[in-house]
Structure formats: C-alpha cells, structure tokens
C-alpha cells in the first residue's frame, strides 16, 4: 500500500441478526442499517418470530394464504437488502408472548448463526405519540430476544436440549433496540435509504396504496437531523461484557 491510499474500512463486526415479530417490522425500523451492513460485507440474517397470519383487512384471504404471502414478501425484501438468510419461527401472529418456548427458539437461532450484533424491538410499551399504541407481538419478540441473548444463548446449562442438538453457547457482543423514544445511538443511512424504501415496498400486502416511502423518509429525516446527517436510524445500544 502506498502513502495516501486509504485502507478499505472493515466493518466492526462480521455477523448480525435481526429478531422481529413480523415480516416488515425490520423494514420499518432498521433496514437502512441492515442495507449498510450488507454493503460493507457483513453477513446479516433475519429471524421472523410469528407467521404473520393476521395482519390484513381483506376477508377473502385465509390466514394460511396471508402467512405464505408475507413470508414471500420478506424473502423478496431480504434479496433487495442482501441478507444471507431469513428464518421463520412460525408462532401464531397477534398471540405472541415471551414464553420459554419462544425464548428457546430464538436462542437456537442465535447459537446457529452466532451474531456479533443483534437488533430487536423494544420489550416495553412506551405510549409516546398519538397515532400508534404499539403491537403486543413487538414487545413480546423484544423481550424474548433479549432473554435469549442473555443468559440463554450464553449458558450451556440453559436449554441443555439445544446443546444436545449441537448448538454450542454463544455470546452476542452488542444489542441495538429499535426505539423512537430516548435513543442513544444513530446509524447514518443516507446512502442506503433508497434500498430501505425498496425493501419496504416488497411488503405489498402490508404497504398497499399507503405512501410508506413518505413516512419512512420523514421518520429517518427527523432522526438524521439530530445527528447532522440527511437520514438516520435510531437505537438504544447495549455493549455486553
Ligand atoms: Zn409488526
């Protein structure tokens, strides 16, 4: 390397996992970050905890048809983003609770993929704003994911049946929680906002005629303003010992 040449920037981590309740949750909250990480060469996988079988007004579509449509849409979004894989855990949509069964299923995925960093949703209802009260599945998925990171994925004596399946313990180094209130970590997504919008548009059954692009740009512009960049995504960050 000659003087003045800059070494290509290596990503801090190699492997990332996003754990969310529904197909499309990640596209609303963190797909600009995911697209950025994929472009930087990180391996990123999604874990979708529910089957997405409830979220539609059209009464002619059966829950099974909807679940199948939504998993196809998530796979299409994943291709746009450059994901390595999308795992569907298949728990019933709208009924999710942070049970030991859900925690174990997420722990299995963490031990399988061994992410350095994991993104999930907030485990608590915050009641900020006026137009959205939050979805119980989001809190349940967040709680189960955090409990899977610590201590279940880390400790070999927790869920010993996973060890018997060949899944060795794994320590996640960092957790980012998608939050709209009291964030303390921002990712500049100015260069990947277009990919994030395309990935969101792949969720046809959820987005429909709704101008999701306008909303996504407005949210991420507001976060970008706080950091002096055009677009950003906000998180609460935990660096684990
Ligand atoms: Zn959702």
pTM, 2 dp: 0.94
| CA end-to-end distance (rounded Å), the chain | 36
Mean pLDDT of 92-103: 98
Looking at per-residue pLDDT, the higher value among 179 and 106 belongs to 106
Is 120 within a domain? yes
Question: Residue 102 class from Cβ within 10 Å (0-12 exposed, 13-18 middle, 19+ buried)?
Answer: buried
Is the residue at 31 inside a domain?
Answer: yes
**Cβ pair 123, 30 in contact under 8 A:** no
Residue 201 within any structural domain of the chain = yes
Examine residue 1 and state whether it is found in any structural domain, yes or no: no
The predicted-structure confidence for 35-89, as pLDDT tens digits, reads as follows 999 999 999 999 999 999 898 888 999 999 999 999 999 999 999 999 999 999 9
Domain for residue 9, yes or no?
no
**Predicted pLDDT of residue 3:** 55
Whether residue 184 lies inside any domain: the answer is: yes
The strand pairing partners of 118, in sequence order, are 17, 175
Residue 10 has pLDDT above 80, yes or no: no
**DSSP line for 145-207:** HHHIIIIITT-TTSSHHHHHTT-------EEEEE-SSS--EEEE-TTTHHHHHHHHHT-HHHH
Distance CA 2, CA 55 (A): 56
Q: How far apart are CA 159 and CA 152, in angstroms?
A: 7
For 11-41, how does the pLDDT look when each residue is reduced to its tens digit (9 = 90+)? 789 999 999 999 999 999 999 999 999 999 9
pLDDT tier, 235 (very low <50, low <70, confident <90, very high otherwise): very high
Task: For residue 160, report the distance from its CA to the centre of ligand 1, in Å.
Answer: 31
Query: Looking at the domain assignment, is residue 66 inside a domain?
Result: yes
Structural domain for 88, as ranges: 15-239
Residue 8: pLDDT band (50, 70, 90) is low
- How far does the centroid of ligand 1 lie from the alpha carbon of residue 204, in Å? 14
* Residues 233, 33: Cα–Cα separation, whole Å: 7
167 Cα: distance to centroid of ligand 1 (angstroms): 28
Q: What is the pLDDT of residue 210?
A: 80
Dist. CA 232 → ligand 1 center (Å): 20
Q: Is position 85 within any domain?
A: yes
C-alpha span between 30 and 219 (Å, rounded): 11
User: What pLDDT sits at residue 127?
Assistant: 84
Q: What is the pLDDT of residues 204-220, one digit of tens each?
A: 998 877 888 999 999 99
Q: What is the mean pLDDT of residues 93-97?
A: 97
- Could you tell me the distance, in angstroms and rounded to a whole number, from the CA of residue 191 to the centre of ligand 1? 25
Tell me, in angstroms, the distance from the centre of ligand 1 to residue 215's CA. 16
- 235: CATH: 3.40.50.10320
Cα 19 to ligand 1 centre (Å): 11
- pLDDT at 1 (0 to 100): 47
CA distance 119 to 36: 14
pLDDT digits (tens, 9 = 90+) for 123-166: 999 887 778 888 999 999 999 999 999 999 999 999 999 999 99
Burial (CB count <10 Å: 0-12, 13-18, 19+), residue 75 = middle
| Helix, strand, coil percentages for the chain (3-state, nearest 5) | 40, 20, 40
Query: Is residue 6 very low, low, confident or very high in pLDDT (cuts 50, 70, 90)?
Result: low
Counting the structural domains of the chain, the total is 1
């Amino acid at each position: 390397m000659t003087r003045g040449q800059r070494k290509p920037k290596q990503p801090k981590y190699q492997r990332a996992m996003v754990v969310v309740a529904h197909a499309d949750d990640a596209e609303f909250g963190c797909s600009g970050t995911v697209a950025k990480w994929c472009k930087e060469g990180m391996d990123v996988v999604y874990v979708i905890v529910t089957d997405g079988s409830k979220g539609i007004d059209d009464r002619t579509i059966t829950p099974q048809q909807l679940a199948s449509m939504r998993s196809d849409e998530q796979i299409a979004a994943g291709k746009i983003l450059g994901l390595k894989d999308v795992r569907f855990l298949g728990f019933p949509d709208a009924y999710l609770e942070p049970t030991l069964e859900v925690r174990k299923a997420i722990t299995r995925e963490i031990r399988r993929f061994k992410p350095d960093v994991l993104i999930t949703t907030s485990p608590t209802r915050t009641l900020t704003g006026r137009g959205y009260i939050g979805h119980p599945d989001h809190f349940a998925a967040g709680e189960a994911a955090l409990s899977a990171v610590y201590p279940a994925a880390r400790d070999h004596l927790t869920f010993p049946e996973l060890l018997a399946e060949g899944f060795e313990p794994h320590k996640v180094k960092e957790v980012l929680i998608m939050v709209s209130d009291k964030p303390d970590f921002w990712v500049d997504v100015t260069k990947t906002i277009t990919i994030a919008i395309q990935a969101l548009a792949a969720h046809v059954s959820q987005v429909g005629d709704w101008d999701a692009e306008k909303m996504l740009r407005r949210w991420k512009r507001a976060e970008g303003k706080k950091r002096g960049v055009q677009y950003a995504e906000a998180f609460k960050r935990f660096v684990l010992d």
